[in-house]
């Protein structure tokens, strides 16, 4: 595909080319139905197979077993910021939140705004969120501990998750879900907007441990209850069918083409190592995250001046390397290198970076 | 496209073939971006153009002028059942609801479940919702009057909307939005899951009169406030980009290929008349809706026995006519003939119906 660029967007982000090609090939006639996947009923055998296979693959890839349910919801991770405390933080209890960046901060604010008791157990705001706090003092009576596993904007990620004992972890994994194997048993809920590592915008995956469902207050509106989605296989109402179908193709690609999450992690680690090694060998580029907190997914860095950063982003795009501008709230540069990004894309970026340094360093 | 069927699904439903073909053609490279529309950032010029053009077209088609904002939300019409009273029904006031079927009933239940004061101003439940109530006694002090403009399951629709004086109408138009011109000025809010008349599942269009935004309580979670969407051009968080893009292509088709809502209505009326005329001339098929309440979008009918209905639906599908089963809650048959359905599709259905009656009548 000569017209395709290397896409380092933070989300919506690159999708695997074979996934796009499969969507394209069957767009007018899904599996002999004579209809597009967008035109089949969500109550049909066709869509039932799509959603069930997608659930099963996520379950297999993550090793979830029988204790979890995989739900497809709408409203993005931002809606989860409200749904989590509404559903899972009972009156009279408090929840621990770890603040590691923009998205954790928003999750905390939404919970507080609805009058919930939030304890910010640790924060890395003192150094502009460039690291992941260690040895976090957690409340053994907390309803849950909320973390952001990968900080899309700040370029940091947990290497090891906090040990919360019997308190369930709740993780916003929007920007690193399915990038590596994790021990799901520590988690009461994992949620992720699909638009980075697992599909297009328009569906949010929520993986909930079944015992957490007992906390859901009956009084909530139907569409705001995890139980509504759990009871109806995410089809109480019309689900975002096309987005779920695309997630299904992405997880099929991870399982069948990549070979599962261990292989996915190895590939992602090699990509990240290749890119980070440039910061360590050059004075021109400097990573913004502490070394021990570096994200495998969002590589954030600075150049010697803002003018050079501007030129870097613009010239990169001319060279077929898109989406390298840092988030507008922090500036600088960022290469988002989610699951679909190939080693070849990384090599192309590194070559360009070396060339740019030679000319401007 | 020889493999395509005539699709009479109730939603998700048929899309215009030229829309699907355009999606297919540019799926790997959207407008020379080198990315799929699913891969471009929602903060990019590419997506900005998509969402702005879509808003402008809806505005032009419906003649909304400056008084309204067109919002793209998630969670389907079912989420609106909760958001409407949360946002627009202040403490101490009550709202009038007209109950004309399954979806109105759900809207009422959601409002009541959150402790809001709901007055069911009229209902057609006495005759299994086969008609639209007339001369509805409305409360001049109500916060709003909620109606379901077209009843997807029962096959009924308003010919004229209730006269609520200065009280704003709020309409669930999920199954007839953009099917005909309406006088928007009577409405405080119009909402519609896109998956019937205007696009795929995964986006809900909410058209809100700007003065209604003043009612929104500041205390609601960000993602549950109409103001959040209004203030940020529906991009406070990542929107369902692909679904919005597809809605954009459907409204372009309505405007440029069909020629606007008057032409759309003429086409829809001809389709419905062709189909309903069979019930009036045959004893084999009987429409379930009162004549003066017939929907132009969902044509519900019965055959002399359930066995014949089963055979009808199965044989129709063998003949390339899909989705004719009535909703599981009511049985019988239903042909959903939304905007994309062609007169040719209707003729094919009518031919088959005549043939089937000849064999089985
Ligand atoms: C870690 C994280 N959480 C939450 C969000 C917000 O997600 P959404 O736009 O799906 O609401 C993002 C989006 O970039 C993110 O990176
Ligand atoms: C009139 C009407 N309202 C609401 C709904 C529910 O919509 P959603 O599935 O988008 O929540 C439907 C769905 O069929 C409908 O026809
Ligand atoms: Mg962040
Ligand atoms: Mg350096
Ligand atoms: Mg109905
Ligand atoms: Mg008859």
User: Where do the structural domains in chain B lie, given as residue ranges?
Assistant: 18-258, 260-360
Between A and B, how many CB-CB pairs are < 8 A?
A: 219
Instruction: Evaluate if residue A238 carries a pLDDT over 60.
Output: yes
* The two structure tokens encoding residue A252: 């099929």
Average pLDDT over residues A46-57: 98
SS3 of B88, please?
helix
pLDDT of residue A18 exceeding 70, the answer is yes
d(CA A46, CA A30): 8
In this structure, CATH architecture of domain A18-258: 3-Layer(aba) Sandwich (3.40)
**pLDDT reading at A56 higher than 60:** yes
B202: left (phi over 0), alpha (psi -120 to 50) or beta: left
> What's the pLDDT at A329?
87
* Neighbour count for residue B286 (Cβ, 10 Å): 14
Which among A13, A72, A76 is the best mutation to test ligand 1's pocket, defined by most ligand atoms within 8 Å of the CB? A76
Contacts of B228 in chain A (CB under 8 A): none
pLDDT of residue B329: 87
Q: Are A312 and A324 in contact (CB under 8 A)?
A: yes
From the centroid of its chain, how far is CA B285? Answer: 26
Contact residues of ligand 1, CB 6 A cut-off = A 11, 76-78, 103, 148, 152, 172, 174-175, 193; B 237-238
Sign of torsion, CA B242 B243 B244 B249?
Answer: positive
Question: Residue B346 phi/psi, 5° resolution?
Answer: -65, -45
Residue B15 exposure: Cα atoms within 13 Å on the Cβ side = 33
Looking at residues A262-290, what average pLDDT do you find?
A: 96
pLDDT band, residue A2 (cuts 50/70/90): low
The model's pLDDT over A178-198, given as tens digits with 9 standing for 90+, comes to 999 999 999 999 999 999 999
CA of B152 to the centre of ligand 5 (A): 5
A354: left (phi over 0), alpha (psi -120 to 50) or beta: alpha
What is the reported pLDDT for B208?
98
Predicted local distance difference test score (pLDDT) of residue B361: 86
Beta strands in chain B (DSSP E): 6-7, 68-73, 94-99, 117-123, 145-148, 150-151, 156-157, 169-172, 187-193, 204-209, 286-287, 298-302, 321-322, 333-336
Scanning the structure block, which residue is given the tokens 């906390």?
Answer: A215
| CA A344, chain centre distance (Å) | 22
Q: What is the model's pLDDT at position A328?
A: 87
Q: Which atom of ligand 1 is nearest to the CA of A193?
A: 10
Is B172 among the residues known to form the active site?
yes
What tens digit of pLDDT does each residue of A108-157 get?
999 999 999 999 999 999 999 999 999 999 999 999 999 999 999 999 99
Q: What is the mean pLDDT of residues B75-88?
A: 98
For residue A10, the Cα-to-chain-centroid distance in whole angstroms is 10
Residue tagged 């967008």 (tokens): A38
C-alpha angle with apex B338: A223 to B133, nearest 5 degrees?
70
With a CB cutoff of 8 Å and minimum separation 6, the contacts of B313 are: B324, B325, B333
Strands (E), chain A: 6-7, 68-73, 94-99, 117-123, 145-148, 150-151, 156-157, 169-172, 187-193, 204-209, 286-287, 298-302, 321-322, 333-336
Write down the mean pLDDT value for chain A: 97
pLDDT digits (tens, 9 = 90+) for B13-52: 999 999 999 999 999 999 999 999 999 999 999 999 999 9
Longest pairwise C-alpha distance within chain B: 64
CA-CA-CA-CA torsion sign (B347, B353, B358, B359): positive
Closest CA to B213 of B148, B147, B165, B168: B168
Nearest-by-CA chain B residue for A44: B323
Q: What is the complex's ipTM, to 2 decimals?
A: 0.98
Mark yes or no for CB contact B238/A35 under 8 Å: no
Q: How confident is the model at residue B319 (pLDDT cuts 50, 70, 90)?
A: very high
Q: What is the mean pLDDT of residues B110-133?
A: 97
- Average of per-residue pLDDT across B211-221: 97
Element (H, E) at B85: helix B76-88
Q: What are phi and psi of A117, to 5 degrees?
A: -90, 115
The per-residue pLDDT for A72 is: 99
Instruction: Give every CB contact of residue A268 below 8 A, 6+ residues apart in sequence.
Output: A179, A180, A296, A297, A337, A339
Q: Which residue of B has its CA nearest to A40?
A: B12
- Where residue B328 falls among pLDDT bands split at 50, 70, 90? confident
- The whole-chain average pLDDT of chain B stands at 97
Longest dimension (CA), chain A: 64
Report helix angle A261-281 to A343-360, nearest 10: 10
Instruction: Name the pairing type of β-strands B321-322 and B6-7.
Output: parallel
Which ligand 1 atom is at minimum distance from the Cα of A101?
A: 1
CATH class entry, domain B260-360 = alpha beta
Residue A235 has which token pair? 């089809």
Q: How many CB atoms lie within 10 A of CB A90?
A: 12
Q: Is the pLDDT of residue B1 over 60?
A: no
Within 10 A of A233 (CB to CB), how many other CB atoms are there?
16
Report long-range pairs for B308-313 (Cβ below 8 Å, ≥24 apart).
Answer: B308/B360, B309/B333, B311/B360, B312/B356
d(CA A179, CA A263): 9
B9 inside 8 A of chain A by CB: yes
Band of residue B194 on the pLDDT scale cut at 50, 70, 90: very high
DSSP letter, residue B158: -
Atom of ligand 2 nearest to the CA of B153: 16
């Amino acid at each position: 595909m000569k017209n395709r660029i290397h896409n380092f967007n933070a989300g919506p982000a690159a999708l695997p080319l074979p996934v796009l090609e499969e969507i394209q090939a069957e767009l007018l006639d899904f599996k002999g139905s004579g209809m597009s996947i967008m035109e089949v009923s969500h109550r049909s055998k066709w869509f039932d197979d799509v959603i069930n296979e997608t659930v099963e693959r996520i379950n297999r890839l993550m090793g979830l077993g029988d204790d979890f349910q995989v739900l497809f919801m709408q409203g993005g991770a931002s809606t989860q910021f409200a749904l989590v405390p509404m559903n899972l933080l009972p009156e009279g209890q408090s929840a621990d939140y770890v603040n590691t960046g923009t998205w954790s901060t928003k999750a905390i604010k939404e919970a507080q705004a609805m009058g919930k008791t939030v304890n910010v157990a640790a924060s890395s705001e003192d150094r502009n969120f460039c690291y992941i706090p260690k040895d976090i003092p957690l409340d053994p009576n907390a309803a849950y501990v909320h973390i952001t596993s990968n900080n899309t904007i700040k370029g940091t990620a947990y290497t090891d998750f906090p040990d919360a004992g019997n308190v369930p972890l709740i993780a916003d994994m929007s920007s690193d879900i399915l990038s590596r194997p994790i021990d799901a048993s520590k988690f009461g809920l994992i949620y992720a907007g699909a638009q980075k590592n697992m599909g297009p915008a328009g569906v949010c995956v929520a993986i909930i441990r079944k015992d957490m469902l007992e906390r859901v207050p009956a009084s909530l509106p139907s569409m705001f209850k995890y139980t509504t989605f759990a009871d109806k296989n995410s089809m109480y109402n019309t689900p975002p069918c096309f987005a779920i179908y695309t997630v299904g193709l992405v997880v099929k690609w991870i399982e069948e083409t990549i070979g599962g999450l261990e292989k996915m992690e190895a590939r992602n680690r090699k990509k990240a190592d290749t890119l980070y090694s440039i910061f360590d060998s050059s004075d021109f580029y400097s990573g913004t995250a502490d070394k021990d907190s570096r994200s495998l997914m969002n590589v954030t860095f600075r150049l010697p001046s803002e003018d050079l950063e501007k030129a870097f982003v613009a010239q990169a795009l001319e060279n077929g390397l898109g989406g390298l501008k840092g988030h507008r709230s922090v500036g600088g540069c960022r290469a988002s290198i989610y699951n679909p990004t190939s080693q070849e894309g990384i090599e192309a970026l590194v070559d360009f970076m070396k060339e740019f340094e030679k000319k401007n360093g």
